[in-house]
Amino acid sequence: MSGWLARGDEEVPAAGAEVGGWLSTAERERLGRLRFRKRRSEFLLRRWTAKHAVLAVLGAAGGTGEPSAALARVAVLNRASGAPYVLLDGAPLGVEVSLTDRAGWAVCLVGDGPDAVGVDLELVEPRSDAFVADFLTTTEASRVHARPPGEGPGGRSELADAVWSAKESALKVLGTGLRTDTRAVEVTLEEGGPEVGPLGGPGWRPLTGRHGPTGQVLPGWWRRDGDFVVTTASVRPHDPPALLPTSGDLARAVPVEPRPAEPFADVRRRGPG
């Protein structure tokens, strides 16, 4: 696994008429089809993060002031399934990536070859009993209910959100996303033992996803960073992802409440004052 990188919403150039210098033509076209301000912001944040991750892997990373021209060389497009792929100067890069965002932060995972990879970022927040019953397997649910309530490390929310996140990572590897029943993948997190990885803050711990209908095993990693949990998955065992240069510090990130899902046009029409 090549690496992962996190970036925050506040550094992304504001969406508006001026946006686009750092996007490829195809990305600008997709942005143009997104009418809701929240969707536009999330799309831009995921592209901003993925482009910096790819440039970091290529050894071409600068800081947050990466020239627009360098960022625009990297195009992060989508297959018909929705799964992302990367072009560099219009040619396939030859490595898989996965993208995710939550509460004003995004993460990109860059694989080290053609194997599909999955990453998912979640805020550690309370999940209802109904959520746990509907989306987790009975084994996962009983592990969650065995935990003390709360959002702290080792608490019920952390486990519920990490299991949910690992399912999303696994379903991204399978390329189906939530078209597949989340209970088709059973997740086991390794919670005790030493943390793995030379990274700042808490390190990665192993997890395993098992797709029940096919028996396919999807190994991955999970970590707690401040208010967030991050999970990864792939089709074969892999080293914990290294933190790429120029990543933001997710452990210190302040989650941003989602912006209202109002049409971008409405926001502009209101104007100043």
Ligand X SMILES: CC(C)(COP(=O)(O)OP(=O)(O)OC[C@H]1O[C@@H](n2cnc3c(N)ncnc32)[C@H](O)[C@@H]1OP(=O)(O)O)[C@@H](O)C(=O)NCCC(=O)NCCS
Point out which span in 52-60, 94-102, 136-144, 215-223 binds ligand X (CB under 6 A): 94-102
Smaller CB separation from ligand X, 34 or 196: 34
Q: How far is the CB of 85 from ligand X (least distance, A)?
A: 9
Q: Site for ligand X (CB under 6 A): which residue of 9, 27, 66, 101?
A: 101
Task: Report the nearest approach of ligand X to the CB of residue 191 (Å).
Answer: 23
Residues 6+ apart with CB under 8 A from 151: 124, 125, 126, 157, 158, 227
Q: How far apart are CA 164 and CA 105, in angstroms?
A: 18
Closer Cβ to ligand X, 92 or 152, answer by number: 92
User: Smaller CB distance to ligand X: residue 231 or 247?
Assistant: 231
182 binds ligand X (CB under 6 A): no
Number of alpha helices (DSSP H) and beta strands (DSSP E) in the chain: 7, 12
Q: What are the C-alpha distances in Å from 80 to residues 47, 173, 175? A: 18, 15, 10
- Does the protein bind ligand X through residue 96 (CB under 6 A)? no
Instruction: Kindly tell me which residue out of 2, 41, 100, 232 binds ligand X, with binding defined by CB under 6 A.
Output: 100
* Interface with ligand X: number of residues (CB under 6 A): 19
How far is CA 104 from each of CA 47, 52, 217, rounded to the nearest angstrom? 13, 16, 31
Nearer to ligand X, 123 or 267 (CB): 123
Residues 6+ apart with CB under 8 A from 264: 15, 34, 35, 36, 37, 40
- Our finding on whether 217 is near ligand X (CB under 6 A) is no
In angstroms, give the least distance from the CB of 39 to ligand X: 9
Site for ligand X in 24-63 (CB under 6 A): 43, 46
Span 102-131, contacts to ligand X by CB under 6 A: 120
Q: How far apart are CA 162 and CA 34, in angstroms?
A: 29
Nearer to ligand X among residue 149 and residue 178 (C-beta): 178
CA-CA distances (angstroms) from residue 210 to 57, 110, 185, 192, 225? 29, 22, 5, 20, 25
Give the torsion through C-alpha atoms of 50, 53, 54, 57, to 10 deg.
-160
Question: How many residues comprise the chain?
Answer: 273
| First and final C-alpha spacing in the chain | 49
Query: Of residues 66-85, which lie at the interface with ligand X (CB under 6 A)?
Result: 78, 81-84
Q: In the range 148-177, which residues lie near ligand X by CB under 6 A?
A: 168, 171-172, 175-177
Binding site for ligand X (CB under 6 A): 43, 46, 78, 81-84, 99-101, 120, 168, 171-172, 175-179
